[in-house]
Chains A and B, each alone.
Chain A
Amino acid sequence: MQNLIKLNIQKIVKRCKDTSIQHIISVSFTVISVVGMIIVGGALSLRFINSTEDLVSENNKSMLDQVNLNLDSYLRNMMKVSDTTYYSVIKKKDLATESIDKDMDLLYETNKDSLISICVFAEQGDVVSASPVGQLKKSVDPRQSDWFTKALTRKENLHFSTPHVQNLFIDPDYKYRWVVSLSRAVELTNNKKITSGVLLVDINFSGIEQICKNVNVGKSGYVYLVDGEGEIIYHPRQQLIYSNLIEENNKVVANYEDGNHTETFQGEKRVVTIKTVGYTGWKIVGVMPIADITSDYNQISLFAIFIMFFAIFILVFLNMFVSSRIANPIKALEKSVNKLENGVKDVDISISGSYEIQHLGKAIRSMVNQMHTLMDNIVLEQESKRKSELDALQAQINPHFLYNTLDSIIWMIENENYDGAIIMVTALARLFRISLSKGKNIITVKDEIEHARNYLTIQNIRYKNKFTYSIEADEETLNLASIKLIIQPLIENAIYHGMEFMGGDGEILVKAYIKENDLYIDVIDNGLGMIQEVADTLLTTESKIEKKSSGIGLKNVNERIQLYFGKSYGVKIYSEPDEGTTISIHLPGVNYYDIKKKEELG
């Protein structure tokens, strides 16, 4: 497994190494931007979620505080009614002599909206005074009511009851109202005797309902009210709870502290905010399903993901664009350099892209141009050099040979051998005439052979007939073209290497003939000869030019022929020790006059 992973990583690394610059740029940019986007997006959404949760719970708290404030002032108002009734009405009057009905009515009238009734009961349950005036129902005994007993058992407090139906008085409309009873123990002065009684203020339930009803907690949240034991006082779906159609977590909530709590009730996670109402011990409970918050999250996160995708898409495209802008000129440059490498001539080096790459392109282009001119120059130089070399070689023939020949002529004249001297001088003159040939390189075979004959004549005299020679030229070869001074060096070779040590019976045969339309001129001697291996090296190695020789070696002859007529022509040496050597010149069989015509036309 580990090996597999390693292998894969290696593969990837290798691939990375092999990829193009565009790939590297676009992929790495994209990866970086995507990672960055995800990190930023994730961090933002986390932050958002946290802050909304905080915000929501803060919001709920302040909302409940507001409800609490309203409820508190409402209840305080009711307590004030109770206080006023007690301290400024009941306490001040002796019930035996004075009536408190009027004052009670006044108080009732002023608080009519929020009150159902104000009544004072004696300890035995008789009505002392009531506003609005009502007849107690026969079936009802106030002493059995919760509010009555509570007020008497804990005299110092005011008591708020849970909501119940007010059933004390006969109502002609058969109306039954839900009330919250505020009861307290009072001292009644009756004929200067103090007895205890109960003051009951029935608060209209709808007043409390109004306060809690229109509080919005989130989308589907709500506010309800429980007393200290968890009995529901107000709930927006109170009747449903009473009918057992739905349930509320009120009993558990009663034990919660003030503040935010998270609970799961009936499979629904929700945030519950508690606020205890002063004095009554009631608790305001704000309920908000978590789903209210999270449904927003889903929307927002969906949106965020989309935006992220969109941004990534745009980024990928942008990266591709940018990387191609950077990479394409480099690629083009690389392509042209590649062509250059493959030896394509006249490559147009592309110059595009950013400044640096343009500069690079320009530099390469000028470099290539320079290279081309340099190469051309080299070719030209080489050619001219070769030409001058050739010319120099040709020129080299003369001085040494001339000196020797002239030396021979002088020697002949001193010995008064005038005939010989005349022949020699004549031959020399002819030799030079052909040698010059008006500066032309190509001459007829006839002239070339003539030149060889003159040379042989001179040498024969000089070497005192140490050898005999003969020249056989086919008639048809005479008008063919030959290069100037190719036979003479071969003869020179033959004389120096073959004849010098022969002692009179040396023979040199010059033979010109046509074979397979090509011209062959053979120089055959019967000198010392050599092994074929040595003969083969003569054409390739630079042989030492001896002082006596005319300076033109076999190699030069060969090169010159090849230079003029191509590599398929040239000189071949066949030799055998003690048998002699044959040097064969191979030339194309071209008519001299055809060449001349061409040159003139050209």
Chain B
Amino acid sequence: MKKKRKRNFIILFLLVILSFLLLLNDTLTHEKDKKTYNISIITAGKNSESLMIMKQGMDQAASEMNANISFVTLSEDNSVVEQTELISREIKNKADAIIISPIDYEKMAEPIQSAIKMLPVILIESTVKSDQVLSSISCDNYKLGVSLAEEMILNGNINSNIVIVKNNLECSSVKERYDGFMSVMENTKNNCIFLNVSDNKQVTYHNEAKKLLEYNNVDAIATFDPDILEGVAQAKKDISNIKKEKASVQIYGTGSTSKIISFLEDKVIDATAIQNEFNIGYLAVKTAVYKINGKTVDNVNISSTVINTKNMYSEENQKLLFPFIR
């Protein structure tokens, strides 16, 4: 009887101690709950201005979700080899997740596929060829191209000579924009002239554009790359100082660097299609953190708008074009 009671007492005591330890453990782990995530972002090109807005979105998400962000840029634009190397380097550096803007729809497919097996990979802006459902954050690039083309038609280009600058079509986002643009153009009587630019240097863009403007009878130019847009716009501005008639050449493109905006304000560029890059950055990091924790995220559509000189200071577009500088 006495022995039994003693044993009961000891068992009870042990239970109390155990519960105390559990409680303590609970409190301690509660503090540790805030884990930091290392997320690497591999961009498609050199650190250009358009990336700054996206980076702000990423920073915002990172500060909210306690993530460490390392921004990795390529030393030269559109280098498949370099981007592949960077993926393996970041995996080696023990990143928890990788956010990547793939530069080639086909060539980047294989390295990204193999990376997905090791850690969450989130694609931004462009995608790669894959049977799997990849988590990608981008706007509807096809629709963006369509909108840009429609804006062009709205501005009276029904029977015009339009130069379309083709560049970097291996990248899915550019390709989709191009496809969207062309789907509208095919239904018009516009005469499309294609110009292939392969070299990646800003000066080349400028010179090629100058040549194009000077010697051809061009009514409008369309491009799907911010850098080329800047080059073309600069060329137009330079030439129109000499030849006034060239000022009527319309320029359409994508991107929202401050240079593009100022060209837009000066009516050098007629319209630019922009996507909400802040959101892309924010959602990419958010998705990455969710994926690390094994949660699922709904695919969110990123809005895109075509902005022209008139509507650029509207309440909505103002917020889209000029993010707060923190």
Residues of A within 8 A of B (CB): 137-139, 164-165, 167, 171, 173-178, 205-206, 209, 237-240, 242-245, 299, 302-303, 306, 309-310, 313, 317
Indicate which residue in B16, B56, B278 contacts A310 across the interface (CB closer than 8 Å).
Answer: B16
Given contacts A240-B282, A309-B19, contact A167 B313 (CB under 8 A): yes
Indicate which residue in A165, A205, A245 contacts B282 across the interface (CB closer than 8 Å).
Answer: A245
Q: Let me know if A243 and B309 touch, CB within 8 A.
A: no
Near A by CB (< 8 A), chain B positions 58-95 give 60, 64
A180 CB to nearest chain B CB (Å) = 13
Q: Using Cβ atoms and an 8 Å threshold, which residues of chain A touch B215?
A: none
A490 CB to nearest chain B CB (Å) = 67
Q: Let me know if B282 and A306 touch, CB within 8 A.
A: no
Q: Does B130 contact A (CB under 8 A)?
A: no
Q: Using Cβ atoms and an 8 Å threshold, which residues of chain A touch B325?
A: 177-178, 206
Q: Using Cβ atoms and an 8 Å threshold, which residues of chain B touch A138?
A: 266
The distance in angstroms between the C-alpha atoms of A209 and B16, with both chains bound, is 51
B17, closest chain A residue (CB) = A310
Q: Does B57 contact A (CB under 8 A)?
A: yes
Residue pairs across A and B with CB atoms within 8 Å: the count is 74
A177, closest chain B residue (CB) = B325
Q: Let me know if A178 and B322 touch, CB within 8 A.
A: yes
Q: Let me know if B23 and A302 touch, CB within 8 A.
A: yes
Q: Using Cβ atoms and an 8 Å threshold, which residues of chain B touch A245?
A: 279, 282-283
Q: Let me know if B313 and A165 touch, CB within 8 A.
A: yes
Q: Let me know if B9 and A317 touch, CB within 8 A.
A: yes
B22, closest chain A residue (CB) = A306
The distance in angstroms between the C-alpha atoms of A137 and B263, with both chains bound, is 12
Q: Let me know if A306 and B20 touch, CB within 8 A.
A: yes
Indicate which residue in A165, A177, A240, A310 contacts B20 across the interface (CB closer than 8 Å).
Answer: A310
The distance in angstroms between the C-alpha atoms of A468 and B283, with both chains bound, is 149
Convert B216-227 into 0s and 1s, putting 1 for each residue whose CB lies closer than 8 angstroms to a CB of A.
000000000000
The distance in angstroms between the C-alpha atoms of A138 and B323, with both chains bound, is 24
B47 CB to nearest chain A CB (Å) = 17
Q: Using Cβ atoms and an 8 Å threshold, which residues of chain A touch B117?
A: none
Q: Does B46 contact A (CB under 8 A)?
A: no
The distance in angstroms between the C-alpha atoms of A10 and B297, with both chains bound, is 62
Q: Let me know if A165 and B259 touch, CB within 8 A.
A: no
Given contacts A242-B319, A299-B30, A302-B26, 12 further A-B contacts (CB under 8 A): A139-B267, A165-B318, A167-B313, A174-B262, A237-B64, A239-B56, A239-B278, A243-B57, A244-B303, A306-B23, A310-B16, A310-B20
**21 A-B residue pairings within 8 Å (CB atoms):** A137-B265, A139-B267, A165-B313, A174-B261, A178-B322, A178-B324, A178-B325, A206-B325, A237-B64, A238-B324, A242-B320, A243-B282, A243-B319, A245-B282, A303-B23, A306-B20, A306-B23, A309-B16, A309-B19, A313-B13, A317-B9
The distance in angstroms between the C-alpha atoms of A245 and B323, with both chains bound, is 14
Q: Let me know if A164 and B16 touch, CB within 8 A.
A: no
Q: Using Cβ atoms and an 8 Å threshold, which residues of chain B touch A238?
A: 324
B317, closest chain A residue (CB) = A165
Near A by CB (< 8 A), chain B positions 215-261 give 258-259, 261
Q: Using Cβ atoms and an 8 Å threshold, which residues of chain A touch B57?
A: 239, 243
Q: Using Cβ atoms and an 8 Å threshold, which residues of chain A touch B193?
A: none
Q: Using Cβ atoms and an 8 Å threshold, which residues of chain A touch B323?
A: 239
Q: Does B141 contact A (CB under 8 A)?
A: no
The distance in angstroms between the C-alpha atoms of A245 and B60, with both chains bound, is 12
Given contacts A243-B276, A309-B19, A310-B16, contact A174 B319 (CB under 8 A): no
Q: Using Cβ atoms and an 8 Å threshold, which residues of chain B touch A177?
A: 325
Indicate which residue in A175, A237, A299 contacts B27 across the interface (CB closer than 8 Å).
Answer: A299
Q: Does B12 contact A (CB under 8 A)?
A: yes
Most-contacted residue by chain A among B262, B266, B278, B283 (CB, 10 A)? B262
Near A by CB (< 8 A), chain B positions 262-321 give 262, 265-267, 276, 278-279, 282-283, 303, 309, 313, 318-321
Q: Using Cβ atoms and an 8 Å threshold, which residues of chain A touch B60?
A: 237, 239-240
B275 CB to nearest chain A CB (Å) = 11
Q: Using Cβ atoms and an 8 Å threshold, which residues of chain B touch A176?
A: 258, 261, 321-322
B281 CB to nearest chain A CB (Å) = 10
B247 CB to nearest chain A CB (Å) = 13
Interface SS of chain B: helix, strand, loop or mixed?
helix
Q: Using Cβ atoms and an 8 Å threshold, which residues of chain A touch B283?
A: 245
The distance in angstroms between the C-alpha atoms of A423 and B57, with both chains bound, is 158
The distance in angstroms between the C-alpha atoms of A157 and B321, with both chains bound, is 32
B20 CB to nearest chain A CB (Å) = 7
The distance in angstroms between the C-alpha atoms of A137 and B261, with both chains bound, is 13
Q: Using Cβ atoms and an 8 Å threshold, which residues of chain B touch A165?
A: 313, 318, 321-322
Indicate which residue in A173, A206, A306 contacts B19 across the interface (CB closer than 8 Å).
Answer: A306
Q: Let me know if B258 and A174 touch, CB within 8 A.
A: yes
Given contacts A165-B313, A313-B16, contact A205 B324 (CB under 8 A): yes
B286, closest chain A residue (CB) = A245
Most-contacted residue by chain A among B30, B267, B318, B321 (CB, 10 A)? B318
Q: Let me know if A313 and B12 touch, CB within 8 A.
A: yes
Q: Using Cβ atoms and an 8 Å threshold, which residues of chain B touch A303?
A: 23
Q: Using Cβ atoms and an 8 Å threshold, which residues of chain A touch B27?
A: 299
Please provide the 8 A-B residue pairs with the shortest distance between their CB atoms, ordered closest to farther.
A242-B319, A174-B258, A174-B262, A176-B322, A243-B279, A165-B322, A165-B318, A306-B23
Q: Using Cβ atoms and an 8 Å threshold, which residues of chain B touch A239?
A: 56-57, 60, 278, 319, 323-324
The distance in angstroms between the C-alpha atoms of A206 and B324, with both chains bound, is 9
B279, closest chain A residue (CB) = A243
Q: Using Cβ atoms and an 8 Å threshold, which residues of chain B touch A299?
A: 27, 30
Most-contacted residue by chain B among A164, A174, A313 (CB, 10 A)? A174
B14 CB to nearest chain A CB (Å) = 11
B15 CB to nearest chain A CB (Å) = 9
Q: Let me know if B324 and A164 touch, CB within 8 A.
A: no
Q: Using Cβ atoms and an 8 Å threshold, which residues of chain A touch B13?
A: 313
The distance in angstroms between the C-alpha atoms of A309 and B324, with both chains bound, is 54
Q: Let me know if B322 and A174 touch, CB within 8 A.
A: no
Q: Let me know if A139 and B20 touch, CB within 8 A.
A: no
Q: Let me know if A243 and B278 touch, CB within 8 A.
A: yes
The distance in angstroms between the C-alpha atoms of A246 and B261, with both chains bound, is 26
A235, closest chain B residue (CB) = B324
The distance in angstroms between the C-alpha atoms of A303 and B19, with both chains bound, is 11
B5, closest chain A residue (CB) = A320
The distance in angstroms between the C-alpha atoms of A209 and B324, with both chains bound, is 10
Most-contacted residue by chain B among A171, A176, A177 (CB, 10 A)? A176
The distance in angstroms between the C-alpha atoms of A306 and B267, with both chains bound, is 72
The distance in angstroms between the C-alpha atoms of A14 and B56, with both chains bound, is 77
The distance in angstroms between the C-alpha atoms of A239 and B283, with both chains bound, is 13
B9, closest chain A residue (CB) = A317
The distance in angstroms between the C-alpha atoms of A593 and B27, with both chains bound, is 102
Most-contacted residue by chain B among A242, A244, A309 (CB, 10 A)? A242
The distance in angstroms between the C-alpha atoms of A237 and B262, with both chains bound, is 27
The distance in angstroms between the C-alpha atoms of A178 and B325, with both chains bound, is 8
The distance in angstroms between the C-alpha atoms of A164 and B318, with both chains bound, is 8
Q: Using Cβ atoms and an 8 Å threshold, which residues of chain A touch B261?
A: 174, 176
The distance in angstroms between the C-alpha atoms of A165 and B27, with both chains bound, is 47
The distance in angstroms between the C-alpha atoms of A430 and B229, with both chains bound, is 171
Q: Let me know if B324 and A175 touch, CB within 8 A.
A: no
B26, closest chain A residue (CB) = A302
A301 CB to nearest chain B CB (Å) = 12
Q: Using Cβ atoms and an 8 Å threshold, which residues of chain A touch B321?
A: 165, 176
The distance in angstroms between the C-alpha atoms of A205 and B324, with both chains bound, is 9
The distance in angstroms between the C-alpha atoms of A309 and B321, with both chains bound, is 60
B315, closest chain A residue (CB) = A164
B310, closest chain A residue (CB) = A139
A386 CB to nearest chain B CB (Å) = 51
The distance in angstroms between the C-alpha atoms of A119 and B26, with both chains bound, is 61
B259, closest chain A residue (CB) = A174
Q: Using Cβ atoms and an 8 Å threshold, which residues of chain A touch B23?
A: 302-303, 306
B309, closest chain A residue (CB) = A139
A365 CB to nearest chain B CB (Å) = 26
